[in-house]
Amino acid sequence: MKANEASWDRIARVVLGIVLIGVGFLVVGGGWGWVIAAIGVIPLVTGLVGWCPIYSVIGKGTKADDNSSVAA
């Protein structure tokens, strides 16, 4: 598993994940809050790990030193 996310991409994913989790638990609440929070875990984890499975499937990425990357 090789990192395929640039630093800006990772930061954006972590921020998005934290925001979604916060909105899910603090704003929406209930069942839908749990759903939103669960969705927020996905970008949070991919941002922390630095690897996106969708990027791997399509053969692209945002990391500049990756041969199959799309430079930002």
Distance separating alpha carbons of residues 6 and 64, to the nearest angstrom: 7
pLDDT score of 68: 52
Phi–psi pair at 23, nearest 5 degrees: -65, -40
Distance separating alpha carbons of residues 70 and 38, to the nearest angstrom: 28
pLDDT tens digits along 51-68: 999 998 998 889 886 455
Domain ranges across the chain: 7-58
pLDDT tens digits along 39-53: 999 999 999 999 999
Rounded to two decimals, the pTM is: 0.82
Question: What sign does the dihedral 21-57-55-51 (CA atoms) show?
Answer: positive
pLDDT score of 64: 81
